[in-house]
Amino acid sequence: MGWVRRRTPGCCLAFAVIAALAVGPASAFPDKPIRMVVSFPAGGTGDAVARVLADGLSARMKQTVVVDNQGGAAGTIGAATVARAAPDGYTMLVSATSVFAVVPNMRKVEFDPIADLKPVARVGESLRALAVNSKLPVKTVAELVAYAKKNPGKLNYGSAGPGSTVHILTESFRRAAGIDLVHIPYRGAAPALQGLLAGDVEMLIDTVVIPHIKSGTVRGLAAVGQERLGDLPELPTLAEAGYPSVRTSGWSGLFGPAKLSPELVAFYGGHVEALFKDKAFVARLIATGSTPAFLAPAPFADYVKEDNAYFGKLIREAGIKLN
pLDDT single digits (tens) 278-288: 999 999 998 88
Say whether pLDDT at 256 is over 80: yes
CA dihedral 172, 173, 175, 180 (to 10 degrees): -120
Which residues have CB under 8 Å from 271's CB, separation 6+? Answer: 57, 60, 61
294 band by pLDDT with thresholds 50, 70 and 90: very high
Identical topology for domains 11-126+249-318 and 128-224? yes
Q: Shortest CA distance to 254 belongs to which of 8, 31, 61, 20?
A: 61
pLDDT in tens, 121-131: 999 988 889 99
pLDDT at 56: 98
Total-model pTM: 0.72
Domain range list for the chain:
11-126+249-318, 128-224
> CB within 8 A of 292, min separation 6: which ones?
3, 4, 123, 124, 276, 282, 285, 286
**Residues forming beta bridges with residue 68, ordered by sequence position:** 37
Q: 128-224 has which fold?
A: D-Maltodextrin-Binding Protein; domain 2 (3.40.190)
Q: Which of 7-21, 53-67, 135-149, 265-279 has the lowest mean pLDDT?
A: 7-21
**What pLDDT is recorded for position 43?**
86
Query: Going by C-beta distance under 8 Å and a sequence separation of 6 or more, which residues neighbour residue 160?
Result: 40, 44, 74, 98, 166, 167, 185, 186, 187, 188, 189, 192, 206
Is the pLDDT reported for residue 23 higher than 60? no
* pLDDT more than 90, % of the chain: 66
Which range (159-173, 176-190, 209-223) has the least confidence? Answer: 159-173
Task: Residue 220: name the closest of 121, 293, 144, 107 by CA.
Answer: 144
**HEC string of the chain?**
CCCCCCCCCCHHHHHHHHHHHCHHHHCCCCCCCEEEEECCCCCCHHHHHHHHHHHHHHHHHCCCEEEEECCCHHHHHHHHHHHCCCCCCCEEEEEEHHHHHHHHHCCCCCCCHHHHEEEEEEEEEECEEEEEECCCCCCCHHHHHHHHHHCCCCEEEEECCCCCHHHHHHHHHHHHHCCCEEEEECCCHHHHHHHHHHCCCCEEEECCCHHHHHHCCEEEEEEECCCCECCECCCCECCCCCCCCCCCCCEEEEEEECCCCHHHHHHHHHHHHHHCCCHHHHHHHHHCCEEEEEECHHHHHHHHHHHHHHHHHHHHHHCCCCC
For domain 11-126+249-318, say whether CATH 3.40.50.300 is its number.
no
Report the pLDDT value the prediction gives residue 6, as an integer from 0 to 100: 42
